[in-house]
């Protein structure tokens, strides 16, 4: 079976990458307005989406995500073969790949990059490669990865940003005593095998990339990629200003269009308002412990109260009010773009009567009081909570809103010193293991610090980390979701797409559900 | 000229204890705020292990006095440390962003003065008349309109629609930067000039009634000289103080203006640093601003002393 997969991958190579075969104009510059600037252009030591989401333009991974983000295709590796016991993978590397500085990529670079990424002391993403025991160069075009346990997600992990391949020699030559310091120095002038080459970076103003003339990838018609000569990332933090710049034609694309402006931009004949499916979910996290930090009884420790809270919210109305109908309801705690998501229809359809009955059952016929932590100054959170407050008042739940700044909220949250909070999440890997480990697997972060613990779910998760049979694994994740959503320690609100707008002349931009902005196939047509 | 070198040196030396006090107080104060930079940075993905490990790497698990000693050691080597959020040197960040704010503040001050002074004169010379009321009301609009709204308004009209100016951002060459900063400077100047204009107008009205002005006129001096040398020079004294104080505030960073116009200034850097508990940046920027503001106040006092013979320095 594994040999067959390996063979299929070789065939996939011949078909090259899945890109539009329609002839795209080569050349041109694209100016893209971002809401915030990158912080550290290093795959291993970064800790923010602002870095992750553009790293794929500078660096490649052994396997690349497909455009729908759910699967992988060949990248710097052309084929792989797993041993029968699943404990060892032999990966064939693509030949003739050069880094942006012209030096050839070797198996040593690959081994070094993966060792660095898998080291738990380096940055916060090591857990994605936790199953890796050793990486060895077995031939100039082959590396062998030995695992500590079978890992059904290894190949997907090798398609995730932190497993990008860096030039070992250039990196080690960078100034700095520790690995972290070297990472900072190297990241000021990063060198990768990606479609674009780094040119310059004026922090918070502009970052310039140009075409990597040595790039290995060709489109379906055989034309070398990327199409663009140059990309300019500019930082425009204010939403209104960013859109004004796009409408004036000073930038060709703008990310994070506010929900309230989506309809307006859709109607603009000069613009292409794109809504990309995402793994972004918005929810309210509940504290489910028997008492709060101050010792007072916690009504939400009763599952019926939590269910009532869910039933009492008209999610469709909330989506209309807060997101102007741009977002969608959720069937589970995971987004519909996360593999193995389950659930029949929207979770907890609006039912005020049921909510009241559940509350009465739990002994709260007279209602209850609860306080929610909100991010001060966040228009979205204010909109969500005032809507929820209004809806809950109909069933006797009196919601108080406490606005705090981000670090204060994070401190209270991590200490379990909160009643409720508004929260959001995007996946970093195209697999449900990450979201489950944070949301439902209590040994990690006490299930989003809610204090929720289900031993069955914990057992299922641990088993799923080693389960090689896709069918069985899917069943495990279904059961986890069933148990979780019956509890539930959160109130899923909606999943929202990535709203990006471009001038009509821009084609071929892709944003995968994980968030990565992919410009390799982008072009500017006359 | 009643400004002595001794006075200047004394004032400069006075900055030192202020500076040290600010350094110590801020160092301790930011660490007492709830939350820490690492968990704020990692957000939803923070695990206890990762936060503890990274805080240890940053030296944040050490007792505060120990951290302060380490900070001092680096400080005397000219190293302000690295930004926890931006992962780049604090000194580099400050040197990058502070000049932008300085530039914006200088431009805004110049524009305010250019708008305030002539119109203050017109209003004062015709005080009580319709012209006076119109001028004062017009400036009142600028003063009472929220900066955010004013900025977006100017941006939409003059940049997006008329294309006279770029839609926010910061240029590359000096001339380009001036061009980009004009609208944000104007936004700030519209409220600052209102404050200056009112103050100057009232001051001129008062001075015009003074005996020495009647005397100057009686001597037969030309109006230009009476107004320029006698009236303005005296009337402007309180306004100079006001301008100095406002420059000090502007240097703290016009955050909203910087955000709306996408100007990479120190104001935004400070707010982001506070929201991210980026201790080294908060400290480094505060110290730089303390220095700058002290210098601005010193210059203000010197100018005042130069204008007003009653003040000796």
Per-residue pLDDT tens over the stretch A53-82 = 999 999 999 999 998 888 899 999 999 999
* Average pLDDT score over residue span B168-180: 91
| Per-residue pLDDT tens over the stretch A493-511 | 999 999 999 999 999 999 9
What is the average per-residue pLDDT within A469-482? 97
Q: CA of B245 to nearest chain A CA: how many angstroms apart? A: 28
Alpha carbons A36 and A277: distance in angstroms, whole number: 21
Q: How many residues does chain B have?
A: 313
Nearest to A301 by CA among A178, A164, A412, A452: A452
CB contact under 8 A, A438 and B45: yes
For B196-234, b/e burial (b = at least 16 CB within 10 A) is bbbbbbbbbbebbeeeebeebeeeeeeeeebbeebbbeb
Distances in whole angstroms, Cα of residue A181 to Cα of each of A447, A508, B86: 33, 37, 13
Closest CA to A62 of A157, A191, A201, A138: A157
pLDDT at A16 over 50: no
Between A203, A250, A408, which is nearest B35 by CB?
A408
Give the span between the Cα atoms of A251 and A230, in whole angstroms. 13
Predicted confidence at residue A234, as pLDDT, reads: 96
Q: What is the mean pLDDT of chain B?
A: 89
Q: Are the beta carbons of B276 and A407 separated by less than 8 Å?
A: yes
| Residue A12 predicted with pLDDT over 50 | no
pLDDT at A520 over 50: yes
A362: three-class secondary structure by DSSP: coil
Question: Is residue A34 within 8 Å of A500, Cβ to Cβ?
Answer: no
**Mean pLDDT for the stretch of residues A85-92:** 95
User: Tell me, what's the ipTM?
Assistant: 0.87
Average pLDDT over residues A321-337: 96
- pLDDT tens digits for range B235-252: 888 888 899 989 988 887
pLDDT band with cut points at 50, 70 and 90 for residue A2: low
A238 → closest Cβ in B53, B160, B260: B260
What's the mean per-residue pLDDT of chain A?
93
* Nearest CA among A421, A428, A329 for reference residue A373: A421
- C-alpha A257/C-alpha A237 separation (Å) is 11
pLDDT surpasses 70 at A4: no
- With beta carbons less than 8 A apart as the criterion, state whether A381 and A375 touch: yes
Greater pLDDT, A126 or B7: A126
Q: Which residue has the tokens 């292990």?
A: B49
Q: How many CB pairs under 8 A join A and B?
A: 120
The answer to whether the Cβ–Cβ distance between A410 and B43 falls below 8 Å is: yes
Interface test with A, best of B158, B163, B168, B177 (most A CBs within 10 A): B168
DSSP assignment, residue A470?
A: H
Beta-carbon contacts of A441 under 8 Å, excluding residues fewer than 6 positions away, are: A447, A457, A458, A461
pLDDT at B313: 54
Contacts of A187 in chain B (CB under 8 A): 87
Lowest mean pLDDT among A7-21, A358-372, B296-310: A7-21
Widest Cα–Cα separation across chain A: 73
Cβ atoms of A124 and B42 closer than 8 Å: yes
Considering only CB atoms, which chain B residues are within 8 Å of A202?
A: 264
Q: Which tens digits make up the pLDDT trace of A262-298?
A: 999 999 999 999 999 999 999 999 999 999 999 999 9
**Stronger pLDDT, B217 or B302, i.e. the higher one:** B302
Spacing of C-alpha B300 from chain mean position: 13
Q: What would the mean pLDDT of B124-146 be, rounded to a whole number?
A: 88
Choices 1.10.3720.10, 2.40.50.100, 3.90.1010.10, 3.40.1190.20: CATH for B90-312: 1.10.3720.10
Q: State the pLDDT at residue B220.
A: 80
pLDDT > 70 fraction of chain B, expressed in percent and rounded? 98
Please tell me which residue of chain B has the smallest CA distance to A45. Answer: B87
Domain ranges of chain B: 90-312
Residue A49's CB is within 10 A of a number of other CB atoms, namely 16
**Residue written as tokens 């210098």?**
B295
pLDDT grade for A17, boundaries at 50, 70 and 90:
very low
Query: What's the 3-state SS for chain B?
Result: CCCCHHHHHHHHHHHHHHHHHHHHHHHHHHHHCCCCHHHHHHHHHCCHHHHHHHHHHCCCCCCHHHHHHHHHHHHCCCCCCECCCCCCEHHHHHHHHHHHHHHHHHHHHHHHHHHHHHHHHHHHHCCCCHHHHHHHHHHHHHHHCCHHHHHHHHHHHHHHHCCCCCCCCCCCCHHHHHHHHHHHHHHHHHHHHHHHHHHHHHHHHHHHCCHHHHHHHHCCCCHHHHHHHHHHHHHHHHHHHHHHHHHHHHHCCCHHHHHHCCCCCHHHHHHHHHHCCCHHHHHHHHHHHHHHHHHHHHHHHHHHHHHCCCCCC
**Closest CB to A250 among B44, B47, B166:** B166
Q: In the prediction, which pLDDT does A22 show?
A: 58
Half-sphere exposure of B182 (CA within 13 A, CB side): 12
Q: What are residue A422's DSSP bridge partners?
A: A284
| pLDDT tier, A429 (very low <50, low <70, confident <90, very high otherwise) | very high
Quick one: pLDDT at residue A1?
52
Residue A467 contacts residue A473 (beta carbons within 8 Å): yes
Does the beta-carbon distance from B54 to A247 stay under 8 Å? no
Structure tokens at A313: 């919210």
- Intra-chain end-to-end CA distance of chain A, in Å: 48
The end-to-end CA distance of chain B, in Å, is 9
Q: For residues B37 and A407, is the Cβ–Cβ distance under 8 A?
A: yes
Residue matched to tokens 């305010």: B112
Burial of A351 (0-12, 13-18, 19+ CB in 10 A): middle
Q: Classify the C-alpha dihedral A402-A408-A410-A412 as positive or negative.
A: negative
Percent of chain B exceeding pLDDT 90 equals 55
Query: How many CB atoms are closer than 10 A to CB A446?
Result: 18
Write out pLDDT tens, residues A406-426.
999 999 999 999 999 999 999
Q: How far is CA A221 from CA A13, A17, A61, in A?
A: 14, 10, 23
Q: How far is residue A108's CA from residue A165's CA, in Å, rounded to a whole number?
A: 10
- For chain A, the residues whose C-beta falls within 8 A of a C-beta of chain B are 39-40, 45, 47-48, 121, 124, 180, 184, 187-188, 202-205, 234-238, 240-241, 244-245, 247-248, 250, 405-412, 414, 423-425, 428, 438, 444-445
Residue A392 near residue A399, CB atoms below 8 Å = yes
Q: Which helix (H) or strand (E) holds A259?
A: helix A259-266
The helix/strand/coil state of A198 is strand
The pLDDT of residue A19 is 52
């Amino acid at each position: 079976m594994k040999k067959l997969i390996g063979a299929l991958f070789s065939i996939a190579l011949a078909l090259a990458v899945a890109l539009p075969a329609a002839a795209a104009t080569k050349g041109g510059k694209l100016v893209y307005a971002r809401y915030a600037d990158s912080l550290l252009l290093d795959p291993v030591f970064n800790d923010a989406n602002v870095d992750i989401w553009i790293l794929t333009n500078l660096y490649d991974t052994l396997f690349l995500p497909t455009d729908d983000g759910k699967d992988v295709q060949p990248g710097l590796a052309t084929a792989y073969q797993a041993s029968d016991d699943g404990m060892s993978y032999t990966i064939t590397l693509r030949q003739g790949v050069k880094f942006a500085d012209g030096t050839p990529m070797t198996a040593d670079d690959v081994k070094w990059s993966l060792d660095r990424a898998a080291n738990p002391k380096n940055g916060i993403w090591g857990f994605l490669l936790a199953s890796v025991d050793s990486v060895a160069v077995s031939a100039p075009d082959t590396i062998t990865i030995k695992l500590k346990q079978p890992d059904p997600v290894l190949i997907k992990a090798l398609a995730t940003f932190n497993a990008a391949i860096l030039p070992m020699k250039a990196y080690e030559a960078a100034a700095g005593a520790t690995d972290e310091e070297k990472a900072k120095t190297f990241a000021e002038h990063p060198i990768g095998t990606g479609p674009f080459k780094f040119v310059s970076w004026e922090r918070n103003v502009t970052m310039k990339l140009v075409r990597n003339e040595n790039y290995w990838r060709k489109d379906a018609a055989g034309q070398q990629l990327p199409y663009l000569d140059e990309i300019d990332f500019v930082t425009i933090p204010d939403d209104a200003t960013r859109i004004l710049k796009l409408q004036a034609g000073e930038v060709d694309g703008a990310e994070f269009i506010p929900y309230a402006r989506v309809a307006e931009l859709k109607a603009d004949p000069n613009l292409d308002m794109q809504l990309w499916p995402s793994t972004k979910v918005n929810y309210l996290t509940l504290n489910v412990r028997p008492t709060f930090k101050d010792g007072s009884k916690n009504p939400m420790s009763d599952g019926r109260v939590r269910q009532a809270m869910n039933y009492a919210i008209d999610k469709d109305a909330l989506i209309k009010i807060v997101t102007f109908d741009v977002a969608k309801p959720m069937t589970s705690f995971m987004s519909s773009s996360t593999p193995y998501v389950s659930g029949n229809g929207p979770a907890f359809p609006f039912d005020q009567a049921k909510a009241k009955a559940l509350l009465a059952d739990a002994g709260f016929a007279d209602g209850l009081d609860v306080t929610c932590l909100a991010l001060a100054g966040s228009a979205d959170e204010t909109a969500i909570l005032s809507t929820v407050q209004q809806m809950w008042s109909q069933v006797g739940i009196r919601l108080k809103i406490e606005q705090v700044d981000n670090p204060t909220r994070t401190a209270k949250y991590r200490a379990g010193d909160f009643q409720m909070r508004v929260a959001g999440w995007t996946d970093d890997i195209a697999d449900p293991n990450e979201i489950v480990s944070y949301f439902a697997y209590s040994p990690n972060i006490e299930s989003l610090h809610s204090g929720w613990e289900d031993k069955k779910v914990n057992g299922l998760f641990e088993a799923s980390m080693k389960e090689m049979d896709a069918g069985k694994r899917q069943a495990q994740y279904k059961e986890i979701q069933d148990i979780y959503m019956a509890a539930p320690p959160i109130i899923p609100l909606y999943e929202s797409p990535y709203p990006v707008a471009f001038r009509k002349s821009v084609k071929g931009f892709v944003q995968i559900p994980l968030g990565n902005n992919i410009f390799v196939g982008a072009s500017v047509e006359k | 000229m009643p400004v002595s070198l001794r006075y200047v040196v004394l004032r400069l030396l006075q900055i030192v204890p202020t500076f040290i006090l600010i350094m110590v107080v801020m160092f301790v104060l930011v660490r007492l705020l709830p939350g820490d930079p690492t968990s704020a940075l990692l957000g939803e993905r923070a695990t206890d292990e990762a936060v503890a490990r990274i805080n240890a790497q940053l030296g944040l698990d050490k007792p505060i006095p120990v951290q302060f000693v380490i900070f001092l050691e680096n400080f005397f080597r000219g190293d302000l440390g690295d930004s926890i959020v931006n992962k780049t040197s604090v000194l580099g960040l400050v040197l990058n962003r502070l000049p932008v704010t300085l530039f914006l503040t200088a431009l805004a001050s110049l524009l305010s003065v250019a708008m305030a002074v002539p119109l203050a004169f017109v209003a004062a010379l015709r005080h009580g008349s319709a012209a006076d009321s119109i001028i004062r009301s017009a400036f009142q609009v600028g003063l009472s309109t929220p900066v955010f709204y004013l900025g977006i308004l100017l941006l939409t009209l003059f940049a997006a629609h008329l294309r006279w100016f770029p839609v926010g951002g910061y240029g590359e060459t000096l001339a380009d930067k001036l061009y980009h900063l004009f609208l944000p400077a104007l936004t700030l100047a519209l409220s600052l000039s209102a404050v200056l204009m009112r103050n100057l107008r009232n001051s001129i009205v008062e001075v015009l009634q003074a005996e020495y002005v009647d005397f100057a006129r009686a001597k037969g001096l030309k109006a230009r000289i009476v107004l320029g040398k006698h009236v303005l020079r005296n009337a402007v004294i309180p306004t100079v103080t006001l301008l100095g104080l406002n420059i000090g505030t502007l240097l703290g960073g016009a955050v909203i203006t910087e955000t709306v116009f996408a100007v990479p200034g120190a104001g935004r850097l400070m707010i982001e640093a506070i929201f991210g508990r980026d201790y080294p940046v908060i400290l480094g920027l505060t110290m730089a601003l303390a220095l700058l503001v002290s210098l601005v106040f010193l210059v203000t006092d010197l100018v005042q002393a130069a204008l007003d013979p009653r003040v000796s320095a």
